Structure 1
Amino acid sequence: MKWTTAAVPIGVVAIVLMLVVPMPAMLLDLLIGLNIAVSLLILLVAMSIKRPLDFAVFPSAILIATLLRLALNVSSTRLVLSDGYAGAVIEAFGHFVIGGSLVVGLVVFLILVVIQFVVITKGAERVAEVGARFTLDAMPGKQMAIDADLNAGLITEAQARKRRAEVTAEADFYGSMDGASKFVKGDAIAAIIIVLVNLVGGLVMGMVQNGMSAGDAVSTYSLLAVGDGLTSMVPALLLSTATGIVVTRSAADGELGEDLLGQLGRTKQPLRIAGAGLIVLGLMPGLPKLPFMLTGALMLFLASRVKDLPPVDADEAAPAADEPSPDSPEAIAEKMRVDPLELEVAFDLVELVDTARGGDLLDRVKALRRKVAMDTGLVIPLVRTRDNLDLPASQYVVWLNGVPVAKGTSPAGTVLAIGDSLDGLPGKPTREPVFGLAAKWVPAELQRQAEMAGATVVDRSSVITTHLAEVVRQNAAQLLGREDVKLLLEMVRRSHPVVVEELTGGGLSLGQVQQVLQALLEEGVSIRDLVRIFEALSLRAKTATDLDSLVEAARAALGPAISHPYVTDDEKLYVMTLDPGFEQRLLAAVRQSEQGAVLALDAGMVDALARGASDLLDDAEKLGITALLVCSPQVRPALSRLMRQVVARCTVISYAEVSRTAQIETIGVVNGAVALA
């Protein structure tokens, strides 16, 4: 065990023993000097830190230092009452304060008590209490801000963990300081009581047991009591001052002395006014001229030596100086840049974005990125949110690659009630923007009535976020750029380097990998399992590199994971199947084109296919279920490409992609003429 590890436990045990074991006067003198030195060291360290967490052990140091002083008080009181002598240090402190007048000495001692207890200790206790309360209240907001930055991609997971640990440590520190300040307060009260005990007890012991006269007893024991109290009061005053400095210290770049002098002498004007005011006081009749004139001249001299600092720090001003002018090519190019995903809001929706007014739309938009990543495997780009004064009131618009793809309204002071029984509620009828359900914008104060009427109530920020999420899911393939694919490759390389080496060495370009991932996203397939996808692509690339072959290889590797999201809570998977004869006709109609496999069908057959699948999907939706169209792997790519054009809500999977654990429920069969229920 290192000596630094054992020193503190041994010291604490020794302090506890001092409370019960008598101590010689010489050892007491040594420990009193040590106590003063430790308190002075704590004060100097507290002044040198840049932020409170740099002295995280301070609450424990307060407890140990307080326990040491109390142990010394007990030992000194034992010596004062038993021997009438408590060492040279206590006697010297008593002579120094009392001097030739007992009354003056006691008054000075009481003044020191008031300064230490009423001013410094009480103030430090209040600051610690308020600091602990504010820090704990702000902790959830700080955690949310960290999560938002992580979701937005502004920080890494490691940085997020570090910042969370700092927030937790800060809360623990201020909570500990709130309790540690009570130690300082209790120590100040104990010092006063111990001095009174020494005075009264000393007078009784001197006159009753030692046969001293009242005057001699007062002179002897008051000197010892004041000396003993002062040897405790000096380190207690130092520790109280250190406590006040720590709890009032905010994060800064320098030490306390550097920041204090630097900020007080930042500009000339305050120094000039102060110096002129002191000189004016010196000219007033009846006031001494020398002290005011000297201090005033000193202030004016300091003002002449100070250089006014700019209103912002140099570190903050430097980037501004490097910014291009508005007419420079760089600035124009920045304005020309098209953001992949934008959200425009009207003027009366700005309150949803303004965090100072309680708006949480930005936080929800940032959290959406993490949700989409968990669902689809796509890390969408940052969503640029801005206001547009040209938009009609309450309207918002979602832009994708510079093109508006969705819009909606979110009237101020309302909530969206979704349901069929809304006739009794006042408000503006509308349609829920994602699923097209009947809804109504009702006044926010009627939210409770809407819920009692059986409606699902959604706030305005949730409506916009949900609509944006649906737009992202529908256009996920367009949001997956070449740089995003490169980032995904590098992410897999860190954990599975061999997989990426085989993929890139197998003749597939980054663009081909992007096309495969985009095709999977376009059909609603999550690309989170990149390792299996890349393994399948590297194997298939040895025999075929056309897009359909690569996509089907990736789907085959994912297998039942494709249909798993559609499995209900009771482990059922609802499917539609093709009539065997009709499926053979579809297989014979498969043709290869530049865009991949397509079905060469006449308009009547396409219409029958679309009508049959749509009718079955309508029946399923009425029952509150989602059904998939299942077919053979050979016809699936062409059939899926056709269904995305005629019945976009119909998801097509192959038999190999059906879940192996779910119970399969067939809701109907589709053929070329009619849909059989």
Structure 2
Amino acid sequence: MKVLNNVITIFVVIIIAFIIIPLPTFLLDMMFIVNITLSIMILLMTMYVKNSLQFSVFPSMLLITTLFRLSLNISSTRLILTKSGHAGQVIETFGTFVLAGNIVVGFIIFLIIVLVNFLVITKGAERVSEVSARFKLDAMPGKQMAIDADLSSGLITEEVALTRRSDIQREAEFYGAMDGATKFVKGDAIASIVITLINFLGGTIIGMVQGGQDFSSVLTTYTIATVGEGLVSQLPALLISTATGMIVTRAASDSSLSMDVTRQFFAQPLVLVITGVAISCMCLIPGMPWPQILLVSVMMITIGFVLRKRSKEEEQVLAAATGAGSLPIGGSEEIEDETTYYKNIDNIYGLLQIDLIEMEFGYSIIPLVDEGSGSSFIDRLVSFRKQFAIEMGVVIPAVRLRDNGSLNPNQYVVKIKGEMISEGEVLVDYYLALDPGNLTGNIDGIETIEPAYGIPSKWITTDKKEMAEIYGYTVIDPLSVVVTHLSETIRKHAYEVLTRQDVIQLLESAKRSDPALVEDVVPNLISYSRLQKVLCSLLKEGVPIRDMETILSTLSDYAATVRETEVLTEYVRQALKRTITRKWSDGGQIRVITLDSEVERVIANSINRGDQGTYLSLDPQTTQTIITKLIDSIKKVKAVINVPIILTSPVVRIYFSKLLEQFYPGAVVLSFNELNSDVQIQAVANITLE
């Protein structure tokens, strides 16, 4: 294993040794064969990788293979000039085969190969690498913000976010390295031309002056050796240059290059048929070889019709699998069957059931969420369910997906318990560009508002995506817009979908670690319904309920003496101070807006007790003053804190939270007892009555 770890180091040392140490012809032949083999392997690797990061060592391999070829060039030049043109069987065979008895033709073919490599492939790969490196580096901030948006919405985990950030950085470093590495190939092509001229001129002089041969013999001998040596080195160089062009032009994909080309070329059978017909028209040109033209034309038309027939068969199979076309043709039969079915009263009760969470879509965006169309909507929803369970301790129920012909084609709605909670519109063939507030340029698009967070945005076409990222926009695909909106809606209304059955399952899960605690608390000290109210109250204000052991332990201490569920919830919140501090603090620090002591005194004096429990009876004028000043303060410190956090005393927290919910539901109200003592509290504003 240690030898394998050092194989590249040993190989590079051997390459450098080849430059100094004369090689025998049999070893030089072996090295030429190894060079060609390595070049073919690298070319095939670039065709089968799905993205450039799967072959991220390519820039280093480019340097090593270039150095390897140059060392072999030097070794072969040494043998050509010292062995009267004999530098091994590989060089002699290549030279004899290409020349084919004509020195001028062979030399021209060799020069054409070198020029094609130098001017076409290498020059193009160099330009693509340069542009790609610049665009990848410019787009990094936008991509990083997109990852942060997915992470904050729960679509991905922290590990996935770290991996994606690392991939973005590695991709930028890769294209930056390729921008410089292509210069190796360019220099190698120039060096090959120079070495070929040296071999030819040096061999001719040595043969005529030192060897005493006539010009014709010298020309034949050294031309074969020169052209053979040039071809042996340029063939691998051409393969490596092609591999360079392949990998810098390769877009990220889920399959290899061969599969992508085959799938995309044959995706439109009608194009093949039209191409075959167009090619057949060339037979009308006098002197054209019509047998070859007709052969190609018939092949294209045949392939087109075969693929078209296969595509129709697949559509029919898919339609049959999804139940399309299975409805009765006669409307009267359908009504009769439906009437017969609903004569049974028990079947009507099925109409009364409602789904906890459901989404309805207009017909234009159905492919966006349909697995049959290749959508990853379900997979991303599963990822969010897993992330939400880890974060909040609640398992989101299944989401019912429906199409709704009454909606706009691009519209979707989210319903909870049968009632619409939120809605939005997406353009399937566009990208949503969010304005983070620090743009370096403006881009044209359809003005809109991002549905989940209300951020000013634009719908832009695919060709403007890279430029939008360069300008600083956060670019999101339509599917991510829908998933983010759904996830944020579920976060805000998680307390509404926590059923009695969910509470029982949470208790069953808690029994695995501490069965005695669960049996002691529920239902002896607290009923299932009251426990559900406590958990729903925590979720409503964004407090995770994953730590059921702490929740049940606190309830066991206070449930017997505290009658009001709201007060009982406050004790639970204080017991979950570590969880609350972690959720809303950042780096051991939490920025808050505080209430003046006079404001808290006024609120505390306005707390009254009735038959249904305690409530806040604050006069409207005082309420208006407090809320107005609070909202003004939130606007002033918006650049400092994204989520407004108001810190109060434990006595008024619950009442102020209820009051603020009517005017600013996005704010978080915490008490001093709900924060760890080690967290640093920084007050950015203070609310007074003056």
User: Same fold judged by TM-score > 0.5?
Assistant: yes
The aligned counterpart of 1:67 is: 67
> CA shift at 1:90, angstroms?
1.3
The aligned counterpart of 1:178 is: 179
TM alignment of 1:285-304, pairs within 5 A = 285-303=286-304
TM alignment of 1:481-496, pairs within 5 A = 481-483=496-498
The answer to whether the aligner puts 1:480 opposite 2:480 as a matched pair is no
The aligned counterpart of 2:554 is: 537
Structure-2 change in CA distance of 1:134 and 1:496 (3 Å) = farther
The aligned counterpart of 1:347 is: none
The aligned counterpart of 2:18 is: 18
CA contact (8 A) 2:91 2:232 kept: yes
Which amino acid in structure 1 is aligned with residue 43 of structure 2?
L
Structure-2 change in CA distance of 1:94 and 1:333 (3 Å) = farther
After superposition, what is the alpha-carbon deviation per residue over 1:583-633, rounded to whole angstroms, capped at 9, x for unaligned? 8x99xx866x4x3x438xxxxxx98x85998799699979979998869x7
The aligned counterpart of 2:194 is: 193
CA contact (8 A) 1:275 1:296 kept: yes
CA distance in 1, matches of 2:537, 2:125: 64
The answer to whether the aligner puts 1:512 opposite 2:530 as a matched pair is yes
> CA shift at 1:542, angstroms?
6.5
SS at match of 1:23: coil
CA contact (8 A) 1:35 1:235 kept: yes
CA contact (8 A) 1:50 1:256 kept: yes
> CA shift at 1:36, angstroms?
1.1
Which amino acid in structure 2 is aligned with residue 25 of structure 1?
T
SS at match of 1:286: coil
The aligned counterpart of 1:113 is: 114
CA contact (8 A) 1:25 1:87 kept: yes
Which amino acid in structure 2 is aligned with residue 19 of structure 1?
I
The aligned counterpart of 2:80 is: 80
CA distance in 1, matches of 2:269, 2:660: 73
The aligned counterpart of 1:235 is: 236
CA distance in 2, matches of 1:200, 1:23: 22
TM alignment of 1:229-628, pairs within 5 A = 229-252=230-253, 254-282=255-283, 284-303=285-304, 305-308=306-309, 310=311, 321=322, 480-483=495-498, 498=513, 502=517, 506-507=521-522, 508=526, 511-519=529-537, 534=551, 536-540=553-557, 543-544=560-561, 546=563, 547-548=565-566, 550-557=568-575, 574-576=596-598, 593=611, 595=612, 597-598=613-614
Which deviates further from its counterpart, 21-30 or 200-209? 200-209
CA distance in 2, matches of 1:511, 1:39: 71
CA contact (8 A) 1:561 1:657 kept: no
> CA shift at 1:488, angstroms?
11
SS at match of 2:614: strand
> CA shift at 1:231, angstroms?
0.6
> CA shift at 1:280, angstroms?
4.1
Which deviates further from its counterpart, 10-19 or 552-561? 552-561
CA distance in 1, matches of 2:542, 2:254: 50
SS at match of 1:598: strand
Which deviates further from its counterpart, 118-127 or 535-544? 535-544
CA contact (8 A) 1:629 1:652 kept: yes
The aligned counterpart of 1:452 is: none
> CA shift at 1:496, angstroms?
12
Which amino acid in structure 1 is aligned with residue 94 of structure 2?
F
Which deviates further from its counterpart, 262-271 or 68-77? 262-271
Structure 1: give runs of 5+ residues left out of the alignment: 343-368, 391-397, 407-414, 416-471, 600-605, 670-674
CA distance in 1, matches of 2:142, 2:122: 31
CA contact (8 A) 2:355 2:418 kept: no
CA distance in 2, matches of 1:302, 1:644: 68
CA contact (8 A) 2:593 2:646 kept: no
Structure-2 change in CA distance of 1:302 and 1:310 (3 Å) = closer
CA distance in 2, matches of 1:169, 1:103: 48
Name the Cα RMSD after superposition: 6.2
CA distance in 2, matches of 1:41, 1:79: 28
The aligned counterpart of 1:394 is: none
CA contact (8 A) 2:595 2:687 kept: no
CA contact (8 A) 2:503 2:528 kept: no
The aligned counterpart of 1:28 is: 28
After superposition, what is the alpha-carbon deviation per residue over 1:279-320, rounded to whole angstroms, capped at 9, x for unaligned? 443454333444334444444454454444649997997899
After superposition, what is the alpha-carbon deviation per residue over 1:19-44, rounded to whole angstroms, capped at 9, x for unaligned? 22221222111111111121122223
Structure-2 change in CA distance of 1:558 and 1:617 (3 Å) = farther
After superposition, what is the alpha-carbon deviation per residue over 1:524-547, rounded to whole angstroms, capped at 9, x for unaligned? 796689579615534326635741
CA distance in 1, matches of 2:195, 2:8: 27
CA distance in 1, matches of 2:55, 2:676: 58
The aligned counterpart of 1:221 is: 222
The aligned counterpart of 1:125 is: 126
CA contact (8 A) 2:558 2:568 kept: yes
The aligned counterpart of 1:150 is: 151
| TM-score under structure 2 length normalisation | 0.60
CA contact (8 A) 2:63 2:181 kept: yes
The aligned counterpart of 1:7 is: 7
> CA shift at 1:109, angstroms?
0.9
After superposition, what is the alpha-carbon deviation per residue over 1:639-658, rounded to whole angstroms, capped at 9, x for unaligned? 87998999999x99999779
CA contact (8 A) 2:95 2:224 kept: yes
Which structure has the larger Rg?
1
SS at match of 2:20: coil
CA distance in 2, matches of 1:545, 1:301: 83
After superposition, what is the alpha-carbon deviation per residue over 1:327-365, rounded to whole angstroms, capped at 9, x for unaligned? 999xx99999797999xxxxxxxxxxxxxxxxxxxxxxx
> CA shift at 1:13, angstroms?
1.3
> CA shift at 1:226, angstroms?
1.3
How many pairs does the alignment contain?
Answer: 553
> CA shift at 1:203, angstroms?
2.7
After superposition, what is the alpha-carbon deviation per residue over 1:163-184, rounded to whole angstroms, capped at 9, x for unaligned? 4444444334333333333222
